[in-house]
A = this chain, B = another copy of it.
Amino acid sequence: MTFIKSIEKAVDVLSCFTLENPLLRVVEISHLTGLNQSTVSRILSTLAKKQCIEQIVPSGKYRLGIKFHQWSAVLRHKTNLPDLARPVMEKLRDSCGEEVTLYGLDENRRICLEAVKSHFDLAKVTPVGKILPLHCGAAGKVLLAYLTPSERKKFISSKGLEKFTPETIVNPEELEMHLEKIRQDGYAVSQGEREKGAYSIVAPIFNQNKKIAASLSVSGPIFRLSETALKKNIEAVQHAANEISVLLSKSNLNHRQNS
């Protein structure tokens, strides 16, 4: 299989535009991607010509362009995972009170695809579109756990595992043991692995081919996690995740062939 390198580079350039960094200049992108400045400049010109990005005139910085409004609408429109999952997620939030989030795999990160806010004032709040690491936090570990061993190895060996908190697992073997445990249990619980004081309870969502499609998380401040809440929430998250898996299978089976 042969891939078109300049297209990969263009995607890498566009991937630099994030919630945290929605406005970028040529050099910044050059640093972030490791691409030559000339190359970045030419890629940006091309993307600007095609209206994928636009230049803000006083500053000269670039941001995503009108083309993405089209794609954004397409994404929101059809049977896609977030829309499918939202009602189930709201039910889950109502039963456990805490924030419910949905994560998908994005290169070797995870991205928050959907978030339903907690009823508490003091709570975990994750914006949709936020990109987070895979190796820490139960939602990341669940995504990792159900990859094929080769896919997983590619990630874990790719670069060092960054330490976010004292609880972050940075040892590959230790991480693999955790993942094995997750596969046995069918869920994951983490406490303060990425952000101090926060817990998550997470279960996997599978597509019709039993491949991992997303992870569903309930998360909040650790001090609200009683022994009974833990048990109840594990049960509830697993149930909700299964429900979404079923919806997803049905939805995908619908657009067979010429439909």
Q: How many copies does the complex hold?
A: 2
The stretch of A14-22, A216-224, A230-238 that contacts the partner chain: A14-22
The stretch of A39-47, A89-97, A153-161, A190-198 that contacts the partner chain: A39-47
The listed residue (B46, B78, B130) touching A7 by CB distance below 8 A is B46
The stretch of A50-58, A117-125, A169-177, A178-186 that contacts the partner chain: A50-58
Contact B69 A74, beta carbon cutoff 8 Å = no
Contact A72 B75, beta carbon cutoff 8 Å = yes
The listed residue (B15, B46, B68) touching A4 by CB distance below 8 A is B46
Instruction: Name the interface size band of chain A.
Output: 35 or more
Q: Residue-by-residue, is A219-257 near B (CB-CB < 8 Å gives 1, otherwise 0)? A: 000000000000000000000000000000000110111
Contact A10 B19, beta carbon cutoff 8 Å = no
Q: How far is the CA of A14 from the CA of B63 in the complex (A)?
A: 19
A77 nearest CB across to chain B (Å): 6
- Chain A interface (Cβ within 8 Å of chain B)? 1-4, 6-8, 10-12, 14-15, 17-19, 22-23, 42-43, 45-47, 49-52, 56-59, 61, 63-64, 66-78, 82, 104-107, 111, 113, 127-131, 207-209, 252-253, 255-257, 259
Q: In the complex, which residues of chain B have a beta carbon less than 8 angstroms from the beta carbon of A59? A: 255-257, 259
Contact B3 A71, beta carbon cutoff 8 Å = no
The listed residue (B2, B56, B69, B113) touching A252 by CB distance below 8 A is B56
Question: Can you show 22 pairs from A to B with CB atoms below 8 A apart?
Answer: A2-B45, A3-B42, A8-B50, A11-B67, A14-B71, A15-B67, A15-B70, A22-B74, A51-B107, A57-B252, A58-B252, A59-B255, A59-B259, A63-B78, A68-B74, A69-B82, A71-B71, A72-B75, A72-B76, A73-B128, A73-B129, A76-B129
